[in-house]
Amino acid sequence: MAEVINMPRLSDTMEEGVVAKWLKQKGDKVEEGDILAEIETDKATMEFESFHEGTLLHIGIEEGETAPVDTLLAIIGEEGEDISGLLNGGGDAKEDKKEESSEAAGQDETESNDESDDSDIPEGVEVITMPRLSDTMEEGTVASWLKKEGDKVEEGDILAEIETDKATMEFESFYEGTLLKIGLEEGETAKVDSLLAIIGPEGTDVSNVSVDGKSKKKTSGKSEEKEEKSQETGSSSESSEKKSSGATKDGGRIFASPLAKKMAEDKGIDLSNVQGSGGNGRIVKKDIEDYEPSEKPAETKAAAKEDTAAAQPQPYVPAGEESFEEIKNSQMRKTIAKRLGESKFNAPHYYLTIEVDMANAMASRKQINEMPDVKVSFNDMVIKASAMALRKHPQVNSQWTGESMKIAKHIHMGVAVAVEEGLVVPVLKFADQMSMTQIGNNVKDVAGKARNKKLQPKDMEGSTFTVSNLGMFGIVEFTSIINQPNSAILSVGTIVEKPVVKNGEIVVGNTMKLTLACDHRTVDGATGAAFLKTLKTYMENPVTMLA
């Protein structure tokens, strides 16, 4: 019997996953324990193995697609087995995704059993609502209609120009038929999902079709009496033509979209020289992009050159092309943004900075690293010193829960590691019980796993304090956002050679700045300061950490 495999929850905080890569293809034989796919979670990209054997009959989520946990991922069963019942019952993930994207683009289809309709929608009739054309759009204004009631509409025809909160955009039809009703006149504003138009078979009665609860308002400020008069005299239609038209060289009108007009103005193109490819010869964006001015005769060019020389200097027009590269946010990047935002806005951060004399630390590290098979970094020394300081100041090793403050008796050090997709924080458990050499070996191990996307969720769980080091990038001093649910995070800067005062004399010294970000709900200023004082003692006298 076929087995349905859903998007797994591969971490405690995972809400959705991305199929980074399929290791099996539809029709392949699958053994129990085979790796089916690589799944990108909010923390890492992980291998997902099969717990069933058979043939891979169906792939529900293609590579690069995102889906919530428990969405249909794949179906494994006997070769040739009928799985139509499972697909219909489970709801194909790809179809769901298409429907969601359609809704996000404002292309909702009003269902025939919509309770908000005054009556059932006639067969073949499509209700078009005000689309959401930007992420912040809440309402839109009909700048101009390119079709009028009774016109034939083909799929892809531009119906209207919609003014959003960001721009005036062309809105095309996704249906074909006759424009039976216009729900919003030019200049009217309505909420997203308000009735915009109705398309269907010619002659269909749509007088009872509406979208309830959608109010309209006039942006022109005209009274109802003036509006009726405007409609009677046909002035509204004339003004709409003027909106989207200019004058050709022979006195005729030029029909152009607002975007095309703007582009032509920016490029210095005379619209009367452009051949429109839109309906009724209307000039659209593509016509401006493809426009090439015809070559002038040699005499005309010479005359133009003389005129230019005699003319006043022209204003500077910046040359270049504005462009963006759009990179889809990974699950890790989304989670980083969510978690750090929650931490920064919910936890009242404050910062304490000390400057540490690194002379003894540098000498001690040099002596330690002269031993065979031993390699200790300054970061390893900071982690060890922080762990030992937490033992003396346990309140810094705490969590805020709202109802209580939890002080951890164990010390698990989170170590921030930069990876291509963002930032991960693997955890060194019981770091206070490790030697500096053990800390160094463990940090190298987890950092390597992080960069090779081999970290497991258990490798990143349970931290009680975090260290973030940007010293290797030459950063002198910085502040970090607390890694929740920790109460503090230590920011480590680079070692700087500078003049310092020793025994009343100015000499060359080496110092390093450490900044502690604290959650004021759990760590008071005096508590944080006492922790840093102990940390400074350990760093300036490394022998005390070995005692």
Among 431, 492, 504, 496, residue whose Cα is nearest residue 464: 431
Considering Cα of 107, then 180, then 151, then 141, what sign does the dihedral take?
negative
Phi, psi of 180 (to 5 degrees): -85, -30
Element (H, E) at 399: strand 398-400
CA-derived radius of gyration, the chain: 34
DSSP-based three-state secondary structure for 285: helix
Q: Which residue from 163, 186, 175, 164 is spatially nearest to 107, judged by alpha carbons?
A: 175
Please count the residues of the chain: 547
Residue positions annotated with a catalytic role: 520, 524
Report helix angle 525-540 to 378-392, nearest 10.
130
CA distance 237 to 314: 39
Cα distances (angstroms) measured from residue 544 to each of 173, 389, 412, 536, 539: 76, 12, 21, 11, 9
Q: CB under 8 Å to 537, separation ≥6 — which residues?
A: 544
Residue whose tokens read 């032509």:
264
Encoded amino acid at 506, one letter = I
Task: Report the distance separating Cα 106 and Cα 192, nearest Å.
Answer: 8
Q: Strands 488-502, 465-469: parallel, antiparallel or unpaired by DSSP? A: parallel
Is the Cβ–Cβ distance between 474 and 487 less than 8 Å?
A: no
Tokens (6 digits) for 189: 């504003």
452: DSSP letter: T
Between CA 33 and CA 51 the distance in angstroms is: 6
Q: Classify residue 239 by burial, with Cβ atoms within 10 Å: 0-12, 13-18, 19+.
A: middle
Q: Which long-range contacts (CB under 8 A, 24 or more apart) does 333-339 make?
A: 333/421, 333/422, 334/42, 335/13, 335/42, 335/43, 336/422, 336/423, 339/484
Token couple for 240: 């709409």
Q: Under DSSP, is residue 506 helix (H, G, I), strand (E, B) or coil?
A: strand
Q: Is 12 helix (H, G, I), strand (E, B) or coil?
A: coil
Using the 8-state DSSP alphabet, how is residue 121 labeled? P
CB 69, CB 7: distance < 8 Å? yes
Give the C-alpha distances (Å, rounded to integers) separating 346 from 367, 462, 482: 45, 20, 11
